[in-house]
């Protein structure tokens, strides 16, 4: 999207450099990513960066409302509420489509948001390896707020581990070794010293949790949570026994599971911004729009794009038995703004925040990008294409 950098990058790209880049990712993490990594980063011009930051801060202002917990009380399914919720999430991620306004300028449009961590460790590794292998200039950066690699990981260390022994802090997931994002778990383990642990490996004694750490039963003081609890419930019949995580436990959640639901698609109708498409809870929709082709139907309680209906029909709406659990959102038109040797592509940009306990508001720190040439953006889509997949952004300073 910065024409001079795009032209330079494309002209100097080679498959050899790309393979060396992928090999470096695998070497640093311990294995190759289980998802496709794109051949290119995204170069974001200063004007679009400014709009992205503005859009994010407008979302943050909603979260900072004194009545935020009241207006999102229905966001958490009763069966999935976890005790001892804290005052704010430790992580916030906000996804935007890159679009083109009527005047031709690039602008973000809000797609989704979550009070849940994403690939915080791996994205730094990816950006650093892009810089190493592809001569990314110093006029652009992958960080925000003056951070660099060292200060970035120092913040993550303070937030996730704090003053605890890293061996008493775990990254909790369901079968972490099978997750497509496991490369991030290994990068996190390497940088922060915390072990990925499956929920089935937890040992409970009263309100205390332990895990087997190389033959030693080790207490769990903090949980860096990567478990999506409705997904956990769906799988519980095949997982075997594990502690009931919906009870009071003597652990600290980073971040607390309830925030996954409070800060989610549930928030979309609450956000009023030129960078947020109009959304309604389906059960409050006054009338079905005549131009349904311009809308998308999203289930509130799903993740990774599951259940989303892109080409909506009146029959789709009629067939929904629980309209209170769905939103209708004005469809966003992605712009084909990334010019690649195999054709134009569009992208989403994820803005990544952390929120330390002693901070009055979250801090923008890093980013993630997903590049696609099809209708769906996720890295599992367009598997046969090139110059698509997971990536990162470098923002013009």
Distance CA 296, CA 281 (A): 12
pLDDT of 382 > 60? The answer is no
**pLDDT at residue 99, rounded to an integer:** 97
**pLDDT at residue 303, rounded to an integer:** 60
pLDDT of 301 > 80? The answer is no
What percent of the chain stands above pLDDT 70? 97
CB atoms within 10 A of CB 375: 10
Query: Is there a contact between 336 and 310 (Cβ–Cβ < 8 Å)?
Result: no
Strand residue runs (E) in 258-392: 279-281, 295-299, 326-330, 338-340, 343-354, 363-372, 389-391
DSSP 37: B
Residue whose pair of structure tokens reads 């998308």 in the numeric block = 296
Instruction: Return the closest-CA partner of residue 35 out of 92, 107, 118.
Output: 118
Query: Is there a contact between 393 and 369 (Cβ–Cβ < 8 Å)?
Result: yes
pLDDT of 269 > 80? The answer is yes
Under the banding of pLDDT at 50, 70 and 90, the label for residue 151 is very high
Under the banding of pLDDT at 50, 70 and 90, the label for residue 186 is very high
pLDDT digits (tens, 9 = 90+) for 340-374: 999 999 999 999 999 999 999 999 999 999 999 98
CATH numbers and ranges of domains, the chain: 1-79+89-144+260-274+337-397 (no CATH), 161-254 (3.40.50.11290), 278-331 (no CATH)
Q: Read out DSSP for 349-360?
A: EEEEEE--TT-S
Is 125 strand, coil or helix? Answer: helix
pLDDT, average across residues 187-207: 98
Longest dimension (CA), the chain: 63
Instruction: Return the closest-CA partner of residue 119 out of 352, 370, 388, 381.
Output: 352
Q: What is the 3-state secondary structure (H, E, C) of 74-115?
A: HHCCHHHCCCCCCCCCCEEEEEEEEEECCCCCEEEEEEEEEC
**pLDDT at residue 378, rounded to an integer:** 57
pLDDT, average across residues 157-178: 98
Region of poorest pLDDT, from 42-56, 133-147, 194-208, 307-321:
307-321
Distance of CA 7 to CAs 1, 43, 201, 386, 393, Å?
A: 10, 11, 50, 17, 16
Burial 148-165 (b: 16+ CB within 10 A, else e): eeeebbebbeebbbeeee
DSSP 248: -
DSSP 310: S
What percent of the chain stands above pLDDT 90? 90
pLDDT of 176 > 90? The answer is yes
Query: Is there a contact between 187 and 117 (Cβ–Cβ < 8 Å)?
Result: no
DSSP 209: E
Question: What integer best gives the mean pLDDT of the chain?
Answer: 94
pLDDT digits (tens, 9 = 90+) for 59-118: 999 999 999 999 999 999 899 999 999 999 999 999 999 999 999 999 999 999 999 999
Helices (H) and strands (E) in the chain, counts: 10, 19
**pLDDT at residue 374, rounded to an integer:** 82
Predicted TM-score (pTM) of this structure:
0.94
Under the banding of pLDDT at 50, 70 and 90, the label for residue 258 is very high
Rg for the chain (alpha carbons), in Å?
Answer: 21
Under the banding of pLDDT at 50, 70 and 90, the label for residue 380 is low
pLDDT, average across residues 127-147: 97
């Amino acid at each position: 999207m910065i024409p001079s950098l795009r032209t330079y990058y494309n002209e100097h790209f080679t498959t050899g450099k790309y393979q060396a880049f992928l090999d470096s990712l695998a070497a640093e993490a311990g294995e190759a990513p289980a998802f496709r990594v794109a051949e290119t980063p995204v170069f974001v011009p200063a004007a679009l960066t400014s709009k992205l930051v503005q859009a994010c801060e407008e979302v943050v202002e909603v979260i900072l409302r004194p009545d935020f917990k009241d207006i999102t009380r229905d966001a958490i399914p009763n069966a999935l509420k976890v005790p001892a919720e804290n005052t704010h999430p430790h992580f916030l991620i906000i996804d935007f489509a890159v679009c083109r306004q009527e005047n031709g300028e690039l602008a973000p449009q809000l797609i989704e948001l979550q009070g849940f961590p994403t690939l915080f460790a791996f994205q730094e590794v990816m950006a650093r390896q892009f810089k190493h292998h592809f001569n990314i200039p110093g006029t652009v950066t992958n960080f925000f707020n003056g951070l660099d690699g060292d200060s970035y990981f120092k913040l993550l260390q303070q937030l996730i581990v704090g003053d605890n022994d890293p061996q008493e802090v775990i990254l909790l997931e369901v079968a972490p070794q099978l997750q497509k994002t496991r490369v991030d778990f290994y990068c996190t383990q390497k940088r922060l010293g915390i072990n990925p642990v499956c929920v089935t490996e937890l040992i409970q004694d009263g309100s205390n949790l332990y895990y087997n750490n190389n033959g030693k039963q080790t207490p769990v003081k903090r949980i860096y949570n990567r478990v999506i609890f409705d997904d956990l419930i769906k799988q519980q019949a095949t997982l075997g026994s594990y502690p009931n995580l919906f009870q009071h436990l003597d652990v600290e959640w980073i971040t607390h599971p309830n925030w996954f639901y409070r800060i989610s698609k549930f928030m979309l109708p609450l956000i009023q911004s030129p960078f947020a498409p109009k959304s309604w809870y389906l059960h409050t929709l006054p009338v079905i729009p005549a131009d349904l082709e311009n809308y998308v139907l999203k289930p509130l309680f799903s993740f990774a794009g599951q259940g989303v209906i892109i080409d909506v029909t009146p029959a789709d709406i009629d067939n929904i038995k629980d309209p209170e659990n769905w939103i209708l959102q004005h469809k966003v038109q992605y712009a084909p703004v990334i010019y690649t040797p195999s054709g134009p592509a569009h992208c989403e940009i994820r803005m990544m925040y952390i929120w330390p306990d002693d901070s009055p508001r979250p801090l923008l720190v890093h980013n993630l990008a997903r590049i696609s040439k099809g209708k769906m953006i996720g890295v599992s889509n367009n598997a046969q294409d090139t110059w698509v997949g997971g990536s990162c952004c470098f923002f013009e300073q």
